[in-house]
Structure 1
Amino acid sequence: MTPLWTSADIASAVSGTASAAFEANGVAFDSREVTAGDLFIALSGETTDGHRFVDQAFAQGAAGAIVSQPVDHPHILVADTRAALDSLGVAARARTSATVVGITGSVGKTGTKEALWAAFDRMAPGRAHRSLKSYNNHTGVPLSLSRMPADTRFGVFEMGMNHAGEIAAHTRLVRPHVAVITTIAPAHIENLGSIENIARAKAEIFEGLEPGGTAIIPHDSPQRDILIEAAQRHAGRVLTFGLGQGADVRAMDMVPSKSGGTLITVQLPGASLTMTVGQPGEHWVTNALAVIATVEAAGGDLAIAGLAMAELPGMPGRGARSNIAVPGGEALLIDESYNANPASMRATLKVLGEQMAARRVAVLGTMRELGDHGPRFHAELAEPILSAGVDFALLVGEEMAPLGQALEGRVDFAHVPAAADALAALDGRIGAGDAVLIKASNSVGLGRLVAQLTGGALAGKD
């Protein structure tokens, strides 16, 4: 098997000096994630120094390391390991002839990335590559690039940001042939000040487009014109997707499927496609349109992409569904515990409202990075909660107080200060046949509640 990297190739890419010859088949900068044959990059951060974990990395099977000080293991010596990570990512991008897709957005970028990868992997089995997890920041993007094999046919990379200028840096590393914005929502508005500034920051993704590249833009976004204007400065082609009249890639018909998803007919500039979106909710229809637009721009097989969308599983923390043991039987758990902002909260509450169930329970945690807008955005969740027919709402986090005030006297709810208090507050509140939605920003920690419930924490309680 051809190695991902040889020590000679690494040394050339990062302008370093090799202490010995070695071959690596993976790349990691977290020693806890190192597996046999990996290259370990010893990054120095604000709170710790990766050089402290070099021995641990090699104990776990690392083949070599990039370091800024000599170690007693095969290594590449450089002046700055963080700069070396960027350089390795640049070299990985330069050596491939893959069609590369970059994705950003306030909502839906990870799900869309996974759906695109599933489609491309069907078209080119074993030769599709994507960012793992949500590796979309200043270390995650070059790490994901550095893991891309040279013979990759399709590469899909997620890009995130908290401040203006960050996506511009990411996209110049990725150099996408197709750049996708899923949607614009008030995530990170605390740092960026306005929804328009969020749109401008996301639109930085077009700055790295390869000559003649394609920009994929959400047609139904109120910030569409801002995005199109930015895209036209860099893209050879602009495609819009959405539900509204005038979208280049549009869902013409939508019918609920027996499996809980949606049967749609997609109209493209030169073709039409009837397909099933396996994941429930209108927001997943929109994600699917972004996937189809991107596959068309990348020259992929639309029919295969449709099959991939029909069979796409839910992701942990991002829509995964499971049955949990509760008194009297089982309840449905919808796990959306990884991320939350006003738009995604509304979308997933709508999905809950469409779910057939004995009762609907919503466990909602704080939405982060909303700044001074936070109280208003939290309070405004009252309307989608009521529209979804929620029978009981558990609010988690002090920032949820405005929502509690908005719900007073309108729906049964409880408010607890932290995720650690959530399980006890649900005791006696969930029964057989219920549907339970858990959604919050990841830092709230409701993933622990998901683990408790799927582990049977309420089973047998009366």
Structure 2
Amino acid sequence: MTALWTSTGLAMATGGAAFGDFAVGGVTFDSREVMPGDLFIALKGEQMDGHMFLPQAFAAGAAGALVADAARLPDADAPHVAVSDTFEALNDLARAARRRMNGKVVGVTGSAGKTGVKEALRLALERSAPGRVHASVKSYNNHTGVPLSLARMPEDSTYGVFEMGMNHPGELTALADLVRPHVAIITTIASAHRAFFDSEEAIADAKAEIFTGLQPGGTAVLNKDNPHYARLRAAAEAAGAAQIVTFGVASADADVRPLKIAPSETCTSMTADVQGERLTFKIGMPGEHWALNALGVLAVVKAVGADLGLAGLALGEMQGLEGRGKRTLIEAGGGMAMLLDESYNANPASMAAALSVLGGFETRRRGRRIAVLGAMKELGDETEAMHADLAGSIEAAGVAEAILVGPEMAVLARVLPARIPHHHVNTAEEALALVRGLVRPDDIILVKGSNSVGLGRVVRSLNRQGA
């Protein structure tokens, strides 16, 4: 196999000095993830210095390291590239990876749905270019995750798909400058990270920074159903987008729109008009938000020139990701219950969407809909109001019992109608104990909250040991 990087290539990309002749097949800055043949980058963070883990990285089979302090190598002869600053070197490596790749690159951002759309695009494009699609893993979408994802991109990739996130103005400008997408999509704008922004308009402006990195002739893909569409379009035009393609479920004049939608509790069938091409396909994930996401995916697929029909097949095979819609059956009181894992993150828009999905499931026999909802973080002055507003979505979903987790959920516990039994606790461990005492066969349990609440631990425990 062709090496991802050679020591000579690493030195040229970073301006460093190579010691030892080596080649690597992967890149990581987490010593726990090192696989034989990888490059380990010893990043120095605010609380941890990667140079401390050089012995572990080489013991795990690292072929070489990128270091700023060679004196901390486990062996003076350990193959490495020496640089003055490993974080800057990571960014240099990302730029070099982007320069040498001649395929099409897609940037994905938005207040909700980024990871799901990125994964759907990866699957859709893989059908057109098997083995030649590179995408960021997990939610590697920040100032370290994006350059790492770029550094991992093989030179011969036909497509690259990169998720980009932010919680402060200016962050996406820096990431877009690294990714330099040919196509940039904003999934939606909603009140996420409001603690750092004065308004949703300010969030829209920060998300629109993705367009500053668009390549000449590039395409902006915009959600026409979103109330900030006009603002985003103006930003894309100002940034020089050569084409603007719109998608929407409710916008009859969107470039990519549904002609017919047939939802069910486990999937959605759709016939869509994709800029004049008619496509009938199935989406393997339920919920109106996934119908909207799928239209955005198809808009991007067409913009990069990939096969729409094959993309439709890929959408039908989509399954939920861990923490983002994965469905599993767990043991419960001598029977089985369904667990909907949305535990990775939450904001008002994604919480409403997840509750809508829960409400779309038909309960069988004596099964009930149970919602385990964790606090939504970084909402600033809107925290109380936005948590209280969830009451309507909980009621509309037909929730039979709610477990509310975190101090921010106290206001929701106060405003929920008494006819909906609910419990307010402060920790994920307390929530788990309550779930185990409540769940019966045929119940459907939604678990959703901001990642820092720790509801992922609830999901993992239920999957291992049942309720």
Q: TM-score range by the shorter chain?
A: over 0.9
Contact 2:329 2:339 in 1 (8 A): yes
Q: Does 1:309 align with 2:318?
A: no
Deviations 1:285-343 (A, max 9, x none): 11100100000100010000000000011100000000010003000000000010000
Say which of 243, 246, 255 aligns to 1:248.
255
Classify the secondary structure of the residue corresponding to 2:39. Answer: strand
**Given the two structures, how large is their TM-score scaled by the length of structure 1?**
0.98
In the other structure, the counterpart of 2:458 is 449
CA distance in 2, matches of 1:55, 1:411: 55
CA distance in 1, matches of 2:37, 2:235: 43
**1:106 shift after superposition:** 0.5
In the other structure, the counterpart of 1:127 is 132
- Matches of residues 214-233 of structure 1 in structure 2 within 5 Å? 214-233=219-238
- Matches of residues 169-184 of structure 1 in structure 2 within 5 Å? 169-184=174-189
Contact 1:326 1:456 in 2 (8 A): no
Q: Does 1:432 align with 2:441?
A: yes
Contact 1:7 1:18 in 2 (8 A): yes
In the other structure, the counterpart of 1:379 is 388
Classify the secondary structure of the residue corresponding to 1:211. Answer: coil
Contact 2:211 2:220 in 1 (8 A): yes
**1:372 shift after superposition:** 1.1
Contact 2:263 2:287 in 1 (8 A): no
**1:408 shift after superposition:** 4.2
Say which of 352, 368, 374 aligns to 1:365.
374
Q: Does 1:155 align with 2:164?
A: no
**1:222 shift after superposition:** 0.4
Say which of 380, 393, 400 aligns to 1:391.
400
Q: Does 1:59 align with 2:64?
A: no
Say which of 285, 290, 313 aligns to 1:284.
290
Task: Name the aligned partner's letter for residue 431 of structure 1.
Answer: R
Contact 1:318 1:338 in 2 (8 A): yes
**1:457 shift after superposition:** 4.0
Say which of 105, 108, 129 aligns to 1:103.
108
- Matches of residues 28-39 of structure 1 in structure 2 within 5 Å? 28-39=28-39
Contact 2:4 2:154 in 1 (8 A): yes
**Given the two structures, how large is their TM-score scaled by the length of structure 2?**
0.97
Classify the secondary structure of the residue corresponding to 2:437. Answer: coil
CA distance in 2, matches of 1:408, 1:112: 35
Deviations 1:237-273 (A, max 9, x none): 001111122111111210125x721111111222111
CA distance in 2, matches of 1:26, 1:428: 45
In the other structure, the counterpart of 1:141 is 146
Runs of 4+ off more than 4 Å: none
Deviations 1:406-426 (A, max 9, x none): 114241101111111112112
Classify the secondary structure of the residue corresponding to 1:138. Answer: coil
Q: Does 1:263 align with 2:272?
A: no
Q: Mark the runs of 5 or more structure 2 residues left unpaired by the alignment.
A: none
Classify the secondary structure of the residue corresponding to 1:455. Answer: helix
In the other structure, the counterpart of 2:422 is 413
CA distance in 2, matches of 1:392, 1:409: 11
Q: Return 423-432 or 115-124, whichever deviates more.
A: 423-432
CA distance in 2, matches of 1:192, 1:182: 19
CA distance in 1, matches of 2:151, 2:61: 19
**1:182 shift after superposition:** 0.4
